[in-house]
Structure 1
Amino acid sequence: MAKNQGKTIVLTIHQPGFRILDLIDKVILLSNGVVLHSGSLDLLAERLKSVGYCIPQHVNALEFAIEVAESLHKEENHMIKIESCDDPDRDETLNQLAEGKKIFYCNSPCNEVVILSQRFCKNIFRTKQLFAAKTIEALLTGIVLGTIFINAFGNSKKKKMQNQLGFFAFTLTFLISTTTEALPIFLQERRILMRETSRGVYRVSSYIIANTLVFIPFLLIVTLLYTSSVYWLVGLRRNIDGFLYFLLVVWLVALTANSFVACFSTLVPNFITGMSFIYGVMGSFFLFSGYFISKDSVPKYWKFMQYLSLFKYPYECLMINEFGEKGKLRCIEGTEDGCLVYGNQFLMQQGLKESQKWSNLVTMLSFFFGYRLLGLMFLWYRSYRSRS
């Protein structure tokens, strides 16, 4: 069946004979939930010899490995699992692996990224309830929030600016706080990652890249559902440029917050500690966003928190997108007698310029890649310590 129909056959077997083993291409040996070997029988025999075992005559390598499985399991912490790979210098590599000098990877970094990306996608589609809940949550939140603010952005200029700023602040709070629900997923994956990378299954960098590539389109779908429903209901700038920029800012906020949670999930020991730490830091970031206290009122010794805040840059982007319009005067608050505040005047009072509309996006991208890089460094260090 395997040769004629090109099918892969997977079976469990105990103490097989020589005839059956000749038909098997790859063997996976398990003991107490740990993979002791994954590869060909020849590779298994070489591994047994490399750790000092002598296989008796008329006994196949697999049967002998089953008998000494307990001993192999005890030595697992001092050994690295060897994959079946075609390498002309395999004998030398095996000796180096047995001595713990280096890790031998079977796949190139590009292949690892492709394989891990496929695995992440399968995990997402296998948990259809979670995927559906996330998308429905974004859509319903946008609709509900839009119906709440639908009259706040009416024709009357009174308190319109205050309502808009409140909407921006709540939007950022919702987007960033909802990303914390990914923390238990990251913590669970971290345990699997440590076990697999310490045995040389793949590189930590490949895991980070694949995880990033999968989350980018997924978060785009979520933010598109939220933005499409809330933007037009609330009544922000009714042009396609304003909508696309709003979507871009919201998408970058979701990506940056996801990277932040992923980064600090590599440091915290458990879910409770992680949630306490992340919410504490998020609260500090929100305080220095510019909504509660102006930039000029912040003491000098707290200025650094403004530049670290994940809320500051998108909050300024949303204000510039809504109130700023180069070459035009847009009244954002007034009475029946006339306009009290123009958009450009308000931005000048806040110390904002039109050029910051794009420079802030670059800063948000830097946060996104920076937190991913920090997460890579922390995971690599954990993986290195687990091997030593």
Structure 2
Amino acid sequence: MPELFGIRLGAILVTGFILTTMFWHLDNSPKGVQEQNGFFAFAMSTTFYTCFEAIPVFLQERYIFMRETAYNAYCRSSYVLTHSIISIPSLIVLSISFVAIPFWTVGLTGDLHGFLFFFFTILASFWAGRSFVTFISGVVSHIMLGFTVVVAILAYFLLFSGFFISRNQIRLYWIWFHYISLVRYPYEAVLQKEFDNPTKCFVKGVQMFDNTPFGTAPLAVKLKLLQI
């Protein structure tokens, strides 16, 4: 529906503008790297949380779908394939709108190649998020119940994505949630693209004392420690 797409596009544009103003021209310092991690985690989770509009769509079509498939008007795979294809143009518009705003202003690396990689990662995230939400709407029978389930599971996906706690620190009985997390894969993809560069140095000189007990020490003390 056009109004749902318009609201979703507006939310994406507002989010992109906020991210631009919050993460303006980040550098390669330890603090900048930490802020880039936060930017990527929020950006990836946003692509999934903005897919809620798919919940009421399928619930409204549920009985029509059941009736038509019961009378062999079309098969289930045709319905899924059709909805997947017709959603591509809108997802492309959303992805371009979301990527074009913060990519250059945040200072991500890669130029055109990096832009295209970030774009396709966001596009895949939108597609995965929409597919996941559609799946949940096919399982539940009430809109509010669907919203509750989707919000909870997406929160778990973000929790186990590796941003808040690394994979090595996750308990063995929860590690399976790390591997099924839909947020984990695009998040790790953009991190590897951004930081997997042996020619870049992210810690220089006194920056190595950031986020340590010596972080508040005077500059002269830090320089003296480096000379030891």
TM class by shorter-chain length? 0.7 to 0.9
Partner residue, 1:216: 88
Report runs of 4+ in structure 1 exceeding 4 Å deviation.
337-341
Residue in structure 2 matching 1:164, options 31, 36, 46: 36
Residue in structure 2 matching 1:267, options 123, 135, 139: 139
- Aligned ranges 1:166-185 → 2 under 5 Å: 166-185=38-57
Deviation at 1:180, TM superposition (A): 1.6
Partner residue, 1:329: 199
d(CA) in 2 for partners of 1:158, 1:305: 29
d(CA) in 1 for partners of 2:48, 2:204: 33
Residue in structure 2 matching 1:141, options 15, 21, 36: 15
Deviation at 1:216, TM superposition (A): 2.0
CA-to-aligned-CA distance 1:121-178 (integer Å, 9 cap, x gap): xxxxxx4333333333323321221122115x14x72511110000011111211111
Conserved 8 A contact 1:143-1:233: no
Q: For the structure 1 residues 204 and 149, does the alpha-carbon distance in structure 2 shift closer, same or farther, using more than 3 Å as the test?
A: same
d(CA) in 1 for partners of 2:2, 2:207: 54
Q: Which runs of 5+ in 2 are unaligned?
A: 211-228
Q: Greater strand percent: which structure?
A: 1
Partner residue, 1:129: 3
d(CA) in 2 for partners of 1:274, 1:213: 24
d(CA) in 2 for partners of 1:223, 1:316: 18
- Aligned ranges 1:1-388 → 2 under 5 Å: 127-151=1-25, 153-154=26-27, 157-325=29-197, 328-335=198-205, 337=206
d(CA) in 2 for partners of 1:182, 1:132: 14
**Counterpart amino acid of 1:130?**
L
Find the residue that maps to 2:119 and give its secondary structure.
Answer: helix
RMSD of the TM alignment (CA)? 2.0
Q: For the structure 1 residues 288 and 158, does the alpha-carbon distance in structure 2 shift closer, same or farther, using more than 3 Å as the test?
A: closer
Structure ranking higher on relative contact order (CA contacts 8 Å, 6+ apart): 2
Conserved 8 A contact 2:13-2:98: yes
CA-to-aligned-CA distance 1:46-103 (integer Å, 9 cap, x gap): xxxxxxxxxxxxxxxxxxxxxxxxxxxxxxxxxxxxxxxxxxxxxxxxxxxxxxxxxx
Find the residue that maps to 1:331 and give its secondary structure.
Answer: coil
Deviation at 1:270, TM superposition (A): 0.6
d(CA) in 2 for partners of 1:177, 1:268: 18
**Counterpart amino acid of 1:129?**
E
Q: For the structure 1 residues 267 and 338, does the alpha-carbon distance in structure 2 shift closer, same or farther, using more than 3 Å as the test?
A: closer
Conserved 8 A contact 1:150-1:234: yes
Deviation at 1:199, TM superposition (A): 2.5
Q: For the structure 1 residues 179 and 307, does the alpha-carbon distance in structure 2 shift closer, same or farther, using more than 3 Å as the test?
A: same
Find the residue that maps to 2:202 and give its secondary structure.
Answer: strand
Identity %: 34
Conserved 8 A contact 2:30-2:207: no
d(CA) in 2 for partners of 1:320, 1:158: 16
Q: Which runs of 5+ in 1 are unaligned?
A: 1-126, 342-388
Find the residue that maps to 1:290 and give its secondary structure.
Answer: coil
d(CA) in 1 for partners of 2:123, 2:2: 22
Deviation at 1:181, TM superposition (A): 2.3
- Using the size of structure 1 for normalisation, the TM-score is 0.51
Deviation at 1:296, TM superposition (A): 0.7
Conserved 8 A contact 2:8-2:50: no
Find the residue that maps to 1:301 and give its secondary structure.
Answer: helix
Deviation at 1:191, TM superposition (A): 2.1
